[in-house]
Amino acid sequence: MSWLASPARGAAPAASDGLAELELAVRSATLSDGSVLPAQPLTLPDYWDRALPGKSGMAVYDLRFDRGWPAAAAAGLFVPWAGGSYEVRLNGILVAAGGSLGAPSSALAKRPYYVPLPPELVREHGNALRITVAARAFSRAGLLPVTVGPAKAVRARYQDAFMVRVAGPFIVAVLSAVLGTIALLIWWRQRDPLFGLYGLAEIAWSVRLLDYFVDDLALPPELRSYIVAAAREVFLGAIGKFCLLVIRVPWRWLHRTLDAYLWLALPILAPLAALSSHPLVFPLSWLAKVGIILTVAAALVWAALRHPSREARLLAATVGVSAVLFLGDWLRVWLTGDYYWVHSMTRYVSVPFSVVMAWMLVERYTSAVRSLQRANQVLSERVAQREAELRAVFARAQKAAAEQTALRERSRILRDMHDGLGSQLVTTLSMLESGQPSRAEIAGQVRHALDSLKLSIDAMQDTGGDLAAVLGNLRYRLGPRIEEAGIAIRWQVERLPVLPHFTARKVQELQYLLLEGITNVLQHAGASAITLAAHADPVAQVIRVTLGDDGRGFDVDAPRGGRGLRNMGVRAAAISGRLQLKSVPGQTTLTIELPLAPTGDEDGEEGEGLAPAA
């Protein structure tokens, strides 16, 4: 806490580095109303606003020193505070100036200055240093003890002061402005009061710090001072409410106290701190701030103990550090008379809150990511469980469907054997018992039954919708029987597209339909040749299968007692086909048109169909 100590007093050069801190001066002044104040000795620092409240004028400080370093060595002058515009003269020669004495600047008082001193101007004894300050009322004009000595040592002291009083506040102001803007943008999107309060506090503090490194803003000094003081009050109130909301302090009276403080601070405390030079105003206003901070810190400690969390403990520690900074600055002003708050560390009070807020943002983001990961994991587990259940249900449904399909297939086979082979065997048996049919007729009936049985067995195998293979198998099964009858076979089957929707049941219906037609040719046509043709018609989107013979023909419109032609029409409809029958003497054709694409009536279960006629 060395910054709480008062500056070293005395004008004798130090033996180690040759530096001399000049505190004894003679001040004379001319006020803006023409009044002349006689020269009087004083000990720096000289606080113009405190000595002459509300007055503007020109102050001249005369100081003397002896050279305590080699004559040829470069020398320098460190002026920590020369309120307003200023001029520095060494032994009557102008060596530095800041601003214009005719238009004094209020912002120049906030900066330290380094003035190089030409070695030829520095005498061994009795050097006269005159610093003229153009003082404006309420602008913290005046002069603090100056340091003279070797250039290197003086510049080092200047750089330390510049870093603490100018560069440091500039960096903090930029950081506060960036973080405050980000927080306000988040608040704009989410309307979370935490981000709104924090953003307001950071922006207010960045405005307050402008006073340390920004020159005049073309504002009256009173207004500039009020803006700085009001920004400080807004920061204190907003950051206090932010802390209380973060850890959910339930004390309504404390929230109301902070609101009341802001309502009083902006119209009363801020103007007093900015415009009044009474020696009690500054300490009392800072005492009120320290009281607010200590109360908030106590609430945070209570909440951290009652509901322990890293956020609560960290915020309580941060507010505690801020309270120490405010209390330390207040004690320095009250005990050492640092009325212009030159050595204050409160200007850095926003840094701990910036670090805490950054940590909170990262912590909440990572917590949200972890929560999302846990939710995704739970969701994945539930989805996997549901998929397993659905797979089990699907497997059971598949098994049931397979069993149902097998049952339907067994029923179909039994029905085909009963209605087809069974009826044909019954018919053959009846013919044998009657003794009327010839041996050839009985043999033909048995061959027909055998062909039906073979085709039923062939239809059980999946052909993959290859009609050419189906027709080739039909030729393989019936070819010997046709040739035994002395009838030639003319094969005109082209390369056909595959029909994936053409199931085994439809294959069977097509085989039975063609078997019915071939049987009629063998029994009734007296033909010498049978033609089996098939080709695809891409225009009509069909495959045409044609069975023709060169027999005697018949009248297709004449009434008949048999079921053969009617059964063929039913079978054609069962496979979504269209049957055409034409017959003249010497040429009879049976044409079946099968669609290339499945039709809408094929979505349900397949019909039972008909067994081949006996």
Instruction: For residue 529, count other CB atoms closer than 10 A to its CB.
Output: 14
Q: Please give the average per-residue pLDDT across 28-49, as a whole number.
A: 88
Helix axes 221-246, 310-336, angle to 10 degrees: 150
Determine the Cα angle at 404 with ends 398 and 405, to 5°.
85
Q: How far apart are CA 241 and CA 198, in angstroms?
A: 9
Determine the Cα angle at 608 with ends 602 and 610, to 5°.
115
Q: With bands split at pLDDT 50, 70 and 90, how would you rate the model's confidence at 89?
A: very high
Q: How far apart are CA 537 and CA 544, in angstroms?
A: 7
pLDDT value of residue 607 = 45
DSSP 462-474: --TT-HHHHHHHH
Helix (H/G/I), strand (E/B), else coil: 534: strand
Does 272 or 519 have the greater pLDDT score? 519
pLDDT value of residue 76 = 93
Q: How far apart are CA 88 and CA 94, in angstroms?
A: 6
pLDDT value of residue 15 = 40
pLDDT value of residue 602 = 54
List CB contacts of 535: < 8 A, sequence separation 6 or more.
Answer: 493, 494, 496, 543, 544
Instruction: For residue 485, count other CB atoms closer than 10 A to its CB.
Output: 14
Q: How far apart are CA 514 and CA 510, in angstroms?
A: 6
CATH architecture entry for 8-161: Sandwich (2.60)
Give 438-455 pLDDT, tens digit per residue: 666 666 667 666 766 666
Looking at the DSSP assignment, which residues form a beta bridge with residue 59?
A: 29, 133
Q: How far apart are CA 543 and CA 198, in angstroms?
A: 79
| Residue 153 contacts residue 17 (beta carbons within 8 Å) | yes
Q: Please give the average per-residue pLDDT across 139-155, as a whole number.
A: 88
Residue type, 262: L
Does 177 or 314 have the greater pLDDT score? 177
Q: With bands split at pLDDT 50, 70 and 90, how would you rate the model's confidence at 325?
A: confident
Evaluate if residue 110 carries a pLDDT over 90: no
pLDDT value of residue 405 = 75
CATH number belonging to domain 407-602: 3.30.565.10
Does 9 or 482 have the greater pLDDT score? 482
Q: With bands split at pLDDT 50, 70 and 90, how would you rate the model's confidence at 75?
A: very high
Maximum separation of any 2 CA atoms in the chain, in Å: 165
pLDDT value of residue 422 = 57
pLDDT value of residue 444 = 66
Give 330-371 pLDDT, tens digit per residue: 677 666 666 666 667 777 777 887 787 778 777 777 887 888
Evaluate if residue 77 carries a pLDDT over 90: yes
R_g of the chain, CA atoms, integer Å: 55
Q: Which of 179-188, 369-378, 434-443 has the lowest mean pLDDT?
A: 434-443
pLDDT value of residue 5 = 35
Does 11 or 323 have the greater pLDDT score? 323
pLDDT value of residue 1 = 32
Q: Across all residues in the chain, what is the average pLDDT?
A: 78
Q: Which of 48-62, 229-243, 400-414 has the lowest mean pLDDT?
A: 400-414
Q: Is 0.75 topped by the overall pTM?
A: no
pLDDT value of residue 605 = 44
Sign of CA dihedral 198, 200, 202, 205: negative
Does 418 or 343 have the greater pLDDT score? 343
Give 486-540 pLDDT, tens digit per residue: 888 888 888 888 888 888 778 878 877 887 888 788 777 788 888 888 888 888 8
